[in-house]
Every structure is written in structure tokens, then in C-alpha cells.
Amino acid sequence: MTASLPSWRETATTSAILDFIDSCANGPDALPPAERVAVFDNDGTLWTEKPMPTELHFIVMRWVAAATADPTLAERQPYKAAVTNDLAWLGRAIEKHYDGDDSDLNTMVGAILATTSDESVEDYQAAVSAFYRDAKHLTLGRSYSGAVYKPMIELLRHLEVNGFTSYIVSGGDRDFMRPMSSDYYGIPAERVIGSAVGLTYDEAANQVRYGNAFSFMDDGPDKPVRIWSRVGRRPVLAVGNSNGDLEMLNYASGLRMLVHHDDDTGRGDAPYDGGAEKALAAAGIRGWQVVSVRDDWSEVFPSVDSASG
């Protein structure tokens, strides 16, 4: 335990993180506050992504509802996986994406777009907020506010105290993350950078609505592009956990951190390397800080579910 990061063990990794933050904030070589920019992936970095990413849980519920309304959908993927609770198919689609095979992901993307096409942004926000209020994590049995990684929340607060501005930079849907980012992470909605469906303005209804194609995806090599377009600065600290974060980590000018899910102690974060093999190899070659969930974190999740909505 450290005073600044109480859920982190006193390891070489923790010391390196604290030393870097201190060097950015204090002393003759301290960076101006405007240059203290940190970027964080979301799924698997700030909260658990197993047995499926939170957004996928929400989407699966919508697919089940669509297949109930139109039973013919249940005969094809990904609706079939949703109605039969085939989490393995869904998980493999994401892992195949990280390995460069988007065949199943493209099938999922078409169905994802169908769930929001012509929906107003306000209606979508209300549906997402209701999900966060009512849904329970599939294995932890608590609301998703209790599925955040406690050590990472402490890191965000420590960065804040030291004059850093932190952004979420995720391949997930920007508008799915915005309703919870402030309450869960202390990061305001305007600092959420993610993938986004194209929007249109419905003048007759005075509504902004979702279209039927993505405006942009925020994954892999697109992450540095999106960071620059939204922030206008190269981050000095970047944190990720998967192959999709490789380019973002490499783009950072200072500390690169890779969360390694290696905890086999039964604390709720099942160990896995799938979808992170390239990132782990790069971390070893390039000397990035690998954060071991097993060895560097004394706690993983909040001890009390603090969900508020």
C-alpha cells in the first residue's frame, strides 16, 4: 500500500508510476499543466471487460428485444448468439478483430447500427442511463459502477491532484460512455473520445438522430489521430490493455502502461492474454510498464458497490 495509491502494492511498477507523475508535476523540469495530458483506454483498463464488454451487454439486450419482435432475426448472427446466450461467439468475434480478422466483427457492426438507426440522441442517452441504473455485471453480480478497477480510479485522482487532464480514448461508443464517465471516473463527458455513429439533424422534429453508418472508429491506428484531433496535444502518459491500444501507447511521449490481466487468485478478474499478445510483446521490447493485476494491485474492485444510478 502507498499513501497516494492505497490499492497498489509497493512494487517497482508502482514506484515508477509515482516517480514519473512527480517528475511531471514538481521540480525544475516540471511540465506546464497544459502539457500534462493522460489518456486511458476504457474496457479492460478502467473497468472489467469480461465475460463481455459492458457495451456489448447493453447491445445484446437490444438484440434479444429485436429478435423477440422479429423471430426471423434469431436465425442469424449475431442475434442468434444473443438469444442463445452464446458469449463464446461474441468473445471470439472481438478477439479475432484484435488478430486482424474482422469477418465476425463486421457482422456485429451491421446489427449494432440497426439498433440505433434513426433514434434520437436523447432517447439513446435515456436508454443507456437506464441500463447503468438497472443492469448487473454478469459474473460479479453488482451494478457496473462496482465493476470499475479501484486502483485505476485512485490513479486518476492522483493525476488530477498533480495537475493532469485525463481523457478516455476507447474503441467503444462515445455516447455509451458519456452518461457514466463523470460519476464512475470523474472524467467529464467532453473528455470522452470514442467511436461514433454518424449523426443527422431532423429539422421537423428538432432532433439529432443516429444514421446508419459509423462516422469514425476509435481503435488501433485511429486512436492517435482522434487524440490529436480532439486534444491537440501528444499525451505524456497512456494506459491500455490490448492490441487495439498499441498505437496509442506508442504515441505517448512519456510513460506507457499496459494492464496485464494475470490474476489467478479468484478476486473476480479472470486471467487472460487473448487480444493482448502483440501489446504484451511490444511492452517487453520497448520497456513499457506492465501493470500486473495479480502482483501490483492489492485490491481490484471497490469493496462496496457504490452505484448511484
Would you list the DSSP string of the chain? --SS-TTB-S-HHHHHHHHHHHHHHSSTTPPPGGG-EEEE--BTTTB---SS-HHHHHHHHHHHHHHHHSGGGGGSTTHHHHHTT-HHHHHHHHHHHHTT--HHHHHHHHHHHHHHTT-BHHHHHHHHHHHHHH---TTT-S-GGGGB-HHHHHHHHHHHHTT-EEEEEEEEEHHHHHHHHHHHHS--GGGEEEEEEEEEEETTTTEEEEEEEEEE--STTHHHHHHHHHHSS--SEEEE-SGGGHHHHHH-SSEEEEEE----SSSS-----TT-HHHHHHHHHHTPEEEEHHHHBS--S-SS-----
Mean pLDDT over 125-131 rounds to 97
Domain 12-50+148-296: give its CATH superfamily.
HAD superfamily/HAD-like (3.40.50.1000)
Q: What pLDDT was estimated at residue 306?
A: 47
Under the banding of pLDDT at 50, 70 and 90, the label for residue 1 is low
pTM here is 0.92
Q: What pLDDT was estimated at residue 246?
A: 97
For residue 50, pLDDT beyond 80: yes
Mean pLDDT over 76-97 rounds to 86
Which residue spans of the chain are classified as CATH 3.40.50.1000?
A: 12-50+148-296
222-277 residue pLDDT tens: 999 999 999 999 999 999 999 999 999 999 999 999 999 999 999 999 899 988 99
